[in-house]
């Protein structure tokens, strides 16, 4: 049995890197950058007004109300090219260039206009209602680094600096193979001894954030058949995710199939609850994960291991779940011989404290309790937590 940290290290070391492609920015969310993103111009590119109003010399408005001569107009896209002198003002719009000589903008609500003159009703301070050239970013400055994941919030930046396309890592191809003679399709009514296949669709939804995913037909617990289905699957993917059949039962054939195909198994037992019998193997350059069949174990080992591999293949800087801390609201029981990553619900209480609401999580088959989880609570081997204890958590994102 190896520690979780060791399993993650093995994955990081064994994963190959995918090459780069260019993708249009409307399609690039969730992808990992393989180029630095830099500003190709100052932003703003000129001293910019933040208000509709009048550009003035702040000093002229010291003893407001004060009457200034309107000498021109600066609108968005068509700035005023002259230079204003003492006693002068320029009518200005939001987003327009503040003319030379002016160092403040008074908004139109604090002015009255008559006969070519503007009365500024309130004093302005230097820089009021304007943003100076390059104040947001200077030409050439780095904004995003290689390895960052592109999020929706980053799109406007890419667009503003002319990146109609960005260089990102190619998306891994994942295939999903559920095993189990008791498993039937979701559209079927299970007969005696049967249950529906919830793992394949869950894995598809989880993996699709990081990969192009193909779900393969269910495979019965039969060694030769499983072997040939694994072989076929490896032809269409970079990463094969198998669920079920990794334990020590008489009909658990995932590892025997991998052995007889000549795959190299790097680990098959992790000090982790749920998820202990997770298998990680490689055949040629294809990665293979064998996840224990219980739906909660599948989810936890996906989040901890498969997700890490899919992101590492794309050279992502952060390949693991975002960690934080929260306060236990009730007892949390760990395990004597394994570290636990227990599904929990975290919420902020009225004092602003992040609180762990434990789920009535009795076993790794309880996917109904898991359905309200939004984090995993880490309980080190041999530990138990009491109400009020601070606990390490990992967000399920």
Largest CA distance in the chain: 97
Using the minimum distance from each CB to Mg ion, give the nearer residue, 32 or 226.
226
The distance of closest approach from Cβ of residue 223 to ligand AMP in the complex, given in angstroms and rounded to an integer, is 14
Q: Which of ligand AMP, Mg ion, none does residue 178 bind (CB under 5 to 8 Å by kind)?
A: ligand AMP
Distance in angstroms (rounded) separating the CA atoms of residues 343 and 360: 10
What is the residue-wise DSSP string for 296-362? Answer: HHHHHHIIIIIHHHHHHHTT-S--SPPEEEEEESS-EE--SSSEEEEEEEEEE-TTS-EEEEE----
Backbone angles phi, psi at 158, to 5 degrees: -60, -45
Binding mask 239-278 for Mg ion (x = CB under 5 A): -----xx---------------------------------
User: Looking only at residues 236 through 265 of this chain, which bind ligand AMP when binding is defined by CB under 6 A?
Assistant: 243-247, 249, 252
The distance of closest approach from Cβ of residue 347 to ligand AMP in the complex, given in angstroms and rounded to an integer, is 29
Count of residues that bind ligand AMP according to CB under 6 A: 20
Distance in angstroms (rounded) separating the CA atoms of residues 162 and 178: 44
The distance of closest approach from Cβ of residue 254 to ligand AMP in the complex, given in angstroms and rounded to an integer, is 8
Count of residues that bind Mg ion according to CB under 5 A: 4
Distance in angstroms (rounded) separating the CA atoms of residues 296 and 359: 13
Find the helix or strand (DSSP H, E) in which 228 lies: helix 223-234
Which of the ranges 130-138, 279-287, 292-300, 344-352 carries the binding residues for Mg ion, by CB under 5 A? 292-300
Distance in angstroms (rounded) separating the CA atoms of residues 7 and 13: 10
Query: Is 197 a binder of ligand AMP (CB under 6 A)?
Result: yes
Across the strands, what pairs with 243?
A: 178, 291
Query: Is 175 a binder of ligand AMP (CB under 6 A)?
Result: no
Q: Which of ligand AMP, Mg ion, none does residue 53 bind (CB under 5 to 8 Å by kind)?
A: none
- Interacting residues with ligand AMP (CB under 6 A): 178, 180, 182-183, 195, 197-200, 243-247, 249, 252, 292-295
- Interacting residues with Mg ion (CB under 5 A): 180, 244-245, 293
């Amino acid at each position: 049995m190896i520690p979780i940290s060791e399993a993650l290290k093995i994955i990081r070391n064994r994963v190959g890197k995918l090459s780069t492609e260019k993708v249009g920015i409307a399609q690039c969310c969730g992808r990992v950058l393989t180029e630095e993103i830099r500003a190709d111009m100052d932003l703003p590119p000129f001293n910019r007004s933040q208000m509709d109003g009048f550009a003035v010399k702040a000093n002229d408005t010291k003893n407001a109300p004060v009457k200034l001569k309107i000498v021109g107009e600066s609108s968005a896209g068509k700035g005023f090219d002259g230079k204003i002198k003492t006693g002068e003002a320029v009518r200005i719009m939001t987003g327009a260039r503040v003319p030379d000589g002016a160092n403040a903008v008074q908004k139109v609500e604090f002015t009255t206009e008559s006969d070519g003159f503007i009365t500024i009703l309130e004093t302005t301070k230097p820089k009021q209602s304007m943003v100076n050239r390059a104040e947001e970013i200077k030409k050439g400055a780095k904004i995003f680094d290689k390895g960052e994941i592109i999020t929706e919030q980053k799109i406007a930046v890419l667009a503003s600096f002319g990146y109609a396309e960005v260089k990102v890592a190619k998306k891994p191809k994942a295939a999903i193979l559920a095993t189990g003679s008791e498993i039937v399709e979701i559209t079927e009514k299970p007969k005696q001894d049967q249950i529906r296949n919830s793992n394949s669709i869950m894995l598809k939804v989880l993996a699709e954030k990081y990969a192009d995913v193909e779900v393969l037909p269910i495979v019965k617990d039969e060694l030769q058949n499983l072997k040939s289905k694994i072989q076929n699957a490896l032809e269409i993917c970079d990463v094969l995710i198998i669920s079920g059949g990794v334990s020590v039962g008489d009909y658990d054939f995932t590892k025997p199939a991998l052995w007889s195909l000549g795959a190299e198994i790097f680990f098959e037992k992790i000090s982790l609850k749920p998820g202990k019998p997770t298998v990680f193997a490689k055949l040629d350059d294809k990665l293979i994960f064998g996840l224990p069949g219980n739906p909660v174990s599948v989810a936890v080992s996906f989040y901890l291991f498969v997700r890490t591999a899919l992101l590492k293949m794309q050279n992502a800087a952060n390949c693991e779940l975002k960690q934080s801390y929260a306060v236990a609201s009730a007892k949390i029981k760990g395990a004597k011989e394994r570290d636990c990553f227990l599904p929990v619900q975290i919420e902020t209480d009225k004092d602003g404290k992040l609180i762990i609401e434990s789920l009535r999580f009795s076993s790794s088959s309880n996917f109904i309790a898991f359905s309200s989880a939004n984090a995993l609570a880490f309980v080190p081997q041999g530990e138990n937590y009491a109400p009020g204890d601070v606990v390490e958590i990992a967000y399920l994102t």
